[in-house]
């Protein structure tokens, strides 16, 4: 990161626009610390990514950038080529954004076939070098995709926890079980679980469903069963069971979630019920808990367990 940090710093004064990409779940904690060394100006635009944007929103983003490029060119007529640099911490989606802009940019089909794409990965630190992608013609517009950079030291434990939970820091450096416990502490104190109340009601109506299943022909029943893979935690019926288990453990918990001991006791109970919901074999040892934690983190990070803004935003931010 030190080498990448120097390379980015050398290019910042040379580009026309700087796009600082942040994670919408942690819009303050995902600030790109290195930009603090440069004076703020109209050249800097903050983009909140990971909001499950549709293509329509991406097109609006591109049109906005093209408008900004035109404004820059009104000031500087020395070049017909504009350069936009994407900067941000690891795993905020810089490369995915660069590819989206490239895909919908005003580039001929022949050019698109020849141009490279940025490497996209859910693992932080996958982008190792600064790469250039063309996203527009007339004028020519290029995007520089840069490696994700974190400050050498993060002294705020809460900020570090948020960065790890959202994937900016590799799970192995913190521990999947610890991250899953942190997520459950957030879920338990939120209102997201209340949206799953009807799943508990549906479970009580299971006898009616069983009767319907009994009326199905054997071939039709076999076909339906083959479509379900109990060990695949991403399947809808598994996700429903996970949501139901979480709702029931939280709503029936007699303790106080404001007390650390009570919260820890609830999380321990949740790991037990989640093991059953995820169909993880009842072996002893930390390996089982790590498997549960990995599956739980995956569902959180893909939005299957609700949407959360982990930073507390000031009231004056609209």
Annotated ligand binding at 85? The verdict is no
Annotated ligand binding at 316? The verdict is no
Annotated ligand binding at 99? The verdict is no
Annotated ligand binding at 49? The verdict is yes
Annotated ligand binding at 50? The verdict is yes
| Burial group, residue 141, by CB count within 10 angstroms (0-12, 13-18, 19+) | buried
For residues 4 and 127, give the distance between their C-alpha atoms in angstroms, rounded to a whole number. Answer: 10
Bond before 143 cis per omega within 30 degrees: no
DSSP for 201-266, written as a single string: HHHHTHHHHHHHHHTS-HHHHHHHHHT--TT-TTSHHHHHHHHHHHHHHHHT--S-TTSHHHHHHH
Contact 257, 144 (CB under 8 A): no
- Both tokens of residue 288? 């089982």
State the binding site for GTP: 49-52, 148
State the binding site: 49-52, 148
């Amino acid at each position: 990161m030190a080498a990448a940090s120097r390379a980015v710093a050398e290019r910042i004064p040379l580009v026309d626009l700087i796009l600082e990409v942040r994670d919408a779940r942690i819009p303050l904690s995902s600030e790109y610390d290195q930009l603090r060394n440069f004076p703020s100006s109209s050249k800097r635009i903050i983009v909140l990514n990971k909001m499950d944007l549709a293509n329509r929103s991406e097109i609006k983003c591109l049109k906005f950038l093209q408008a900004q490029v035109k404004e820059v060119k009104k000031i500087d007529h020395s070049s017909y080529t504009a350069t936009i640099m994407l900067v941000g911490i690891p795993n905020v989606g810089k490369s995915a954004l660069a590819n989206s802009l490239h895909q919908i940019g005003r580039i001929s089909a022949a050019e698109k076939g020849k141009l490279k794409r940025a490497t996209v990965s859910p693992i932080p630190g996958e982008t190792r070098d600064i790469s250039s992608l063309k996203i527009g013609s007339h004028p020519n517009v290029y995007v520089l995709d840069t490696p994700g950079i974190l400050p050498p030291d993060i002294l705020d434990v809460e900020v570090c926890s948020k960065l790890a939970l959202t994937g900016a820091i590799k799970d192995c450096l913190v521990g999947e079980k610890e991250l899953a416990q942190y997520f459950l502490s957030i879920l338990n104190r939120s209102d997201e679980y209340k949206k799953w109340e009807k799943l508990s009601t549906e479970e009580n109506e299971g006898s009616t469903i069983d009767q319907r299943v009994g009326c199905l022909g054997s071939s039709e029943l076999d076909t339906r069963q083959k479509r379900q893979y109990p060990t695949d935690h991403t399947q809808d019926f598994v996700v429903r069971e996970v949501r139901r288990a979480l709702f029931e453990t939280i709503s029936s918990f007699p303790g106080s979630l404001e007390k650390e001991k009570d919260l820890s006791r609830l999380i321990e109970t949740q790991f037990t019920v989640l093991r059953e919901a995820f169909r993880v074999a009842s072996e002893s040892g930390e390996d089982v808990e790590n498997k549960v934690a990995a599956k739980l983190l995956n569902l959180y990070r893909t939005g299957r367990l609700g949407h959360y803004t982990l930073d507390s935003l000031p009231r004056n931010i609209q």
